[in-house]
Amino acid sequence: RTELALKEIMSSGGAEDDIPQAERKTVTDFCYLLDKSKQLFNGLRDLPQYGQKQWQSYFGRTFDVYTKLWKFQQQHRQVLDNRYGLKRWQIGEIASKIGQLYYHYYLRTSETSYLNEAFSFYSAIRQRSYYSQVNKEDRPELVVKKLRYYARFIVVCLLLNKMDVVKDLVKELSDEIEDYTHRFNTEDQVEWNLVLQEVAAFIEADPVMVLNDDNTIVITSNRLSETGAPLLEQGMIVGQLALADALIIGNCNNQVKFSELTIDMFRMLQALEREPMNLASQMNKPGMQESTEKPARRENPHKYLLYKPTFSQLYTFLAASFKELPANSVLLIYLSATGVFPSGRSDSEGPYDFGGVLTNSNRDIINGDAIHKRNQSYKEMHCLHPGDLYPFTRKPLFIIVDSSNSVAYKNFTNLFGQPLVCLLSPTAYPKALQDQSQRGSLFTLFLNNPLMAFLFVSGLSSMRRGLWDKCQDYLRKINRDIAQLLTHSRSIDQSFLQFFGDEFLRLLLTRFIFCSATMRMHKIFRETRNYPESYPQLPRDETVENPHLQKHILELASILDVRNVFLENTLDDY
């Protein structure tokens, strides 16, 4: 390919003999690097998606070639313009590929700093208008490259909470789509308009707006900050386990999504990440830190994001995570999925008798489907039953189920004596609470942004920044007190304490208790199915119904002037 390209380029640039040898070599080297980079980039698709080590050396080689290619075109731009006819959109393509590499490196490592690197390359494309000339060429496939670049840039901005940039990009993308469909009358018009609708719904998913004094919207981040998790006080006896791996699974029908992220998955992945730091230098090859440099803080847990997986996909990723889990580490499974209820009557009460949550049936072709429908005694096939997770309880397991059938996981049995906790969402919300399920689950919102969830159940839809900050401070105090309640409890199951040494799990547990206590005190949450549950059960009087905690929640409600939404004497009401 390179030989052919060279001949065409050289002959179009005038007589072959007129071209100096050095310039000819520059073009040859560039064509070689360009070919090599495309070859390596395309090979990334063939790498296994699971397993944390097999892909690293291949990624390193790909980064090397793109680093060389990027620097090469910068150093020899003049020659490449004259002799190769290098177009600005081609430079944009190289920058876009580097942005994609950084984004995929983030997906593989969960290191948020790589998102900043992806952002800087995507931003450069826009600032330097690399794709601006594409619209003048009569090639629809080039315009599609530009549209895809916009969609990828939007995903990175969403993950970095750069909502103001997202809004600008959506407006630009909308104009580009209109121009594209007007000029080429293509069949993919509907798909591109759907992309716009999805991102618009995603931006508006938060039920509460925080406003500055000039009425601009405050962008709140929900990643773990230095002051995020309540600190462990001296004398608190907790386990030394660390959260090392997480599976984040989204399979809710009709939930807002963008790319392959539902809003619930998006919220949960941020709850399992620290605030990103800027990497020191551009084009630094990931993973190549000198061994003498000690990282300043612990890494983020590794994550797999699975959107509507089939049972076999889910099980494959779960087995890979389980296999690679280091010693003294925890595997977290987050399930946000439609509930699957048992179809027939069962005399027994085993781990396959209560149903579970939905797995996708599209890609699994199972011959048993037809028989299954005829015979009521068979179990649901496209479903993750509690029993399916039993083999993985041989290692410390932390499970969060957000589903209309979350209670199926209440009937767990700890077979192997390893730390095991399941946090389970309410299975139904009060009718009086406006249905927000399409914009994400209330339970997951409590685990990601408890103050926003508290405001929503209190009937508030906007708030001034000063009051928001005051409430956040008070909520930190509540979290500290919840941490004390847990560690001082005499009857709490040891599993909770064994997980409490990890910052992420500590924050999830304290938010879970805050969520549960809030719902139990709320006037319209009156049925048992409106409350979160857990396995093992928490001692209510020492945690979710503790008078000291209830007093704090009423105090928070007073600051917001919504005390009338909550019951004053909750202990008398049970």
- 186, 267: one domain: no
- 258, 160: one domain: no
Cα angle 491, 272, 354 (rounded to 5 degrees) comes to: 60
Cβ atoms of 65 and 36 within 8 Å: the answer is: yes
Measure the CA dihedral 462/464/469/473, to 10°. -60
Q: Supply the pLDDT for residue 503.
A: 93
Q: Is residue 237 part of a domain?
A: no
Place of tokens 């952002």: 119
Q: Is residue 454 part of a domain?
A: yes
Q: Is residue 214 part of a domain?
A: no
Cβ atoms of 283 and 62 within 8 Å: the answer is: no
- 204, 330: one domain: no
CB count within 10 Å of CB 164 equals 12
Q: Supply the pLDDT for residue 574.
A: 42
- 257, 202: one domain: no
DSSP letters, 475-543, are HHHHHHHHHHHHHH-SSS-HHHHHHTTSHHHHHHHHHHHHHHHHHHHBTT--SGGGS-EEESPP-GGGT
User: CA 239, CA 245: separation in Å to the nearest integer?
Assistant: 17
- 185, 327: one domain: no
User: In total, how many domains does the chain have?
Assistant: 2
- Low-confidence stretches of the chain (pLDDT < 70) are 1-17, 52, 234-236, 277-298, 344-347, 362-377, 434, 569-574
Q: Supply the pLDDT for residue 9.
A: 53
Residue 465 tokens read as: 């920044």
- 150, 86: one domain: yes
Which of 208, 225, 259 is at the close of a domain?
Answer: 208
Q: Supply the pLDDT for residue 53.
A: 72
What is the domain range of residue 171?
15-208
Which of 208, 226, 254 is at the close of a domain?
Answer: 208
- 480, 525: one domain: yes
Q: What CATH number should be reported for the domain holding residue 406?
A: 3.40.50
Q: Supply the pLDDT for residue 280.
A: 42
Q: Is residue 284 part of a domain?
A: no
- 184, 270: one domain: no
- Report the half-sphere exposure of 309 (CA within 13 A, side-chain side): 19
Using a 10 angstrom Cβ sphere, with 0-12 exposed, 13-18 middle and 19 or more buried, the burial of residue 159 is buried
**What is the pTM for the complete model shown?**
0.90
- 413, 551: one domain: yes
Tell me: the pLDDT tens digits for 524-557?
Answer: 999 999 999 999 999 999 999 999 999 999 999 9
Q: Is residue 545 part of a domain?
A: yes
Q: Is residue 234 part of a domain?
A: no
Q: Supply the pLDDT for residue 362.
A: 65
Q: Using only C-alpha atoms, what is the Rg of the chain? A: 27
DSSP letters, 100-119, are HHHHHHHHHH--THHHHHHH
Tell me: the pLDDT tens digits for 343-380?
Answer: 766 667 788 888 999 998 864 444 444 334 445 668 88
| Strand ranges for 261-415 from DSSP E | 261-262, 302-307, 329-337, 339-340, 356-358, 383-384, 397-402
- 338, 271: one domain: yes
Q: Is residue 285 part of a domain?
A: no
- 531, 447: one domain: yes
Q: Supply the pLDDT for residue 299.
A: 82
Neighbouring-strand partners of residue 242: 329
Tell me: the pLDDT tens digits for 14-52?
Answer: 445 577 888 899 999 999 999 999 999 999 888 888 876
- 133, 53: one domain: yes
Which of 208, 231, 260 is at the close of a domain?
Answer: 208
Q: Is residue 289 part of a domain?
A: no
